Structure 1
Amino acid sequence: MLDFWIEFASTYSYLAAMRAEAVAERAGVRLRWRPFLLGPIFVAQGWTTSPFNLYPAKGRYMWRDMERLCARRGLALRRPDPFPQNSLLAARLAWAVPEARRAVFCRAVFHAEFAEGRDISNAEVLAGVLAGTALPPADLLAQARTDEVKAKLRQETEAARAAGVFGAPAFTASDGELFWGDDRFEQALDWARDRG
């Protein structure tokens, strides 16, 4: 098994999420989707926003890289405004959604944000995402606001930090080995498969 740490505001998490299940299935590795928040981890590093905003050259490169990679993979790309998006409600919803449907929901959120440029902090947008994936919007939005789900997201964010995660996407194998970035996905899968 491989833990798949994603942050909905992360461009490269979008790339990884849209291919994750097919690639993992071919590798014979089960993925565990673990949405978390990068914001608290960035704050602990002294950052107030994405490093792609803090360092303009890095940001320009990232957006051009995303254009190339999305074109190559046949994915639409539309820059969300603002960037990064506030992903709090989306992340809470991901933990309210039944685990068996989490991957479908996560991909739909990424599509709404990065393919359609929609605001994933907006509850109406997320209600539409839920409805589009045959999940009950009213029930899940209510559940996402419960103390239990809020605590779960805090726990997952702390678990990511404790595992050494500093960016997204990230992958951790059962032995704790950490891999960071969409471009390390195959290496992470090989590691997880080889160590059973």
Structure 2
Amino acid sequence: MPRLHFWYEFASTYSYLSAMRIEGCCRARGIDVIWHPFLLGPIFHAQGWETSPFNIYEAKGRYMWCDLERRAAAHGLPPVHRPDPFPQNGLLAARIATIGAEATWAPAFTRAVYSAQFATGACISDAEFLTCLLDSLDQDGPEIVHSAQTDPAVKDGLRKSTETAQSLGLFGAPSFTTDDGELFWGDDRLEEAMGWAARPKT
């Protein structure tokens, strides 16, 4: 089965759109999705940015929120609720998703976090909130959150994922990579990425 690697950062607005639709889109094309949480902070720092470019460039930020609302509506998602502050700290959520990547609940957890953040404005850095969210997914919230906070292997796993993203040339999220090394950036490139992943191999 063809594979598409989905690289996402929990603070990323456009990653929200991709996370909510990628499984259904790929399933319809017979493509397997590999979920990769990572952190944009180190990548932004390498470019000399201390925050999201949507905060650095005011006009770009205004456009992004307008565009996000349009695209969310087009995908049948709830009205966008801008979280405060933006961007949020997604470190703990990313560590939890790193744990979930070894199981079957990472996609459901990821969608739940994005929905809470961008549909209700929830604080996704709050450990108690994430514990309750995991419990609602029939997972052991306290144990998973404790592991995400304390287990060196989990921290190392997320660090390695971020380093791999950098080595692949990722500079933003969402990004999609294929097994033959092609990189596609942005929610509006998901269809193109799926087409590349599913194309006949010669």
Give the structure-2-normalised TM-score.
0.95
Q: Shift in Å at residue 124 of structure 1?
A: 1.1
- Quote the residue 1:94 is aligned against: 97
Q: Shift in Å at residue 100 of structure 1?
A: 1.3
Q: Which moved more, 1:130-139 or 1:49-58?
A: 130-139
* Partner of residue 57 from structure 2, selected from 55, 58, 79: 55
Query: Are 1:108 and 1:133, in contact at CA under 8 Å, matched by a contact in 2?
Result: no
* Partner of residue 107 from structure 1, selected from 99, 111, 117: 111
Q: Is the counterpart of residue 69 in structure 1 residue 71 in structure 2?
A: yes
- Quote the residue 1:171 is aligned against: 176
- Quote the residue 2:15 is aligned against: 13
- Matches of residues 1-196 of structure 1 in structure 2 within 5 Å? 1-76=3-78, 77-97=80-100, 98-145=102-149, 146-194=151-199
How many residue pairs get aligned? The number is 196
Q: Shift in Å at residue 87 of structure 1?
A: 0.5
Distance 1:99 1:30 in 2: 15
Q: 1:160 to 1:195 in 2, by over 3 A?
A: farther
Q: Shift in Å at residue 31 of structure 1?
A: 0.5
Query: Are 1:112 and 1:129, in contact at CA under 8 Å, matched by a contact in 2?
Result: no
Q: Shift in Å at residue 99 of structure 1?
A: 2.8
Name the SS of the counterpart of 1:57 in structure 2. helix
Query: Are 1:93 and 1:144, in contact at CA under 8 Å, matched by a contact in 2?
Result: yes
Distance 1:14 1:134 in 2: 22
Distance 2:197 2:73 in 1: 29
Please tell me the residue identity of whatever aligns with 1:96: I
Distance 1:176 1:81 in 2: 36
Name the SS of the counterpart of 2:35 in structure 1. strand
Q: 1:173 to 1:195 in 2, by over 3 A?
A: farther
Gaps of 5+ in 1: none
Identity of aligned residues (%): 54
Distance 2:118 2:46 in 1: 27
Name the SS of the counterpart of 1:121 in structure 2. coil
Which whole-Å deviations, capped at 9, do the CAs of 1:81-133 have from their partners, x for residues lacking one?
Answer: 00000000000010122431111111011011111100001101111211121
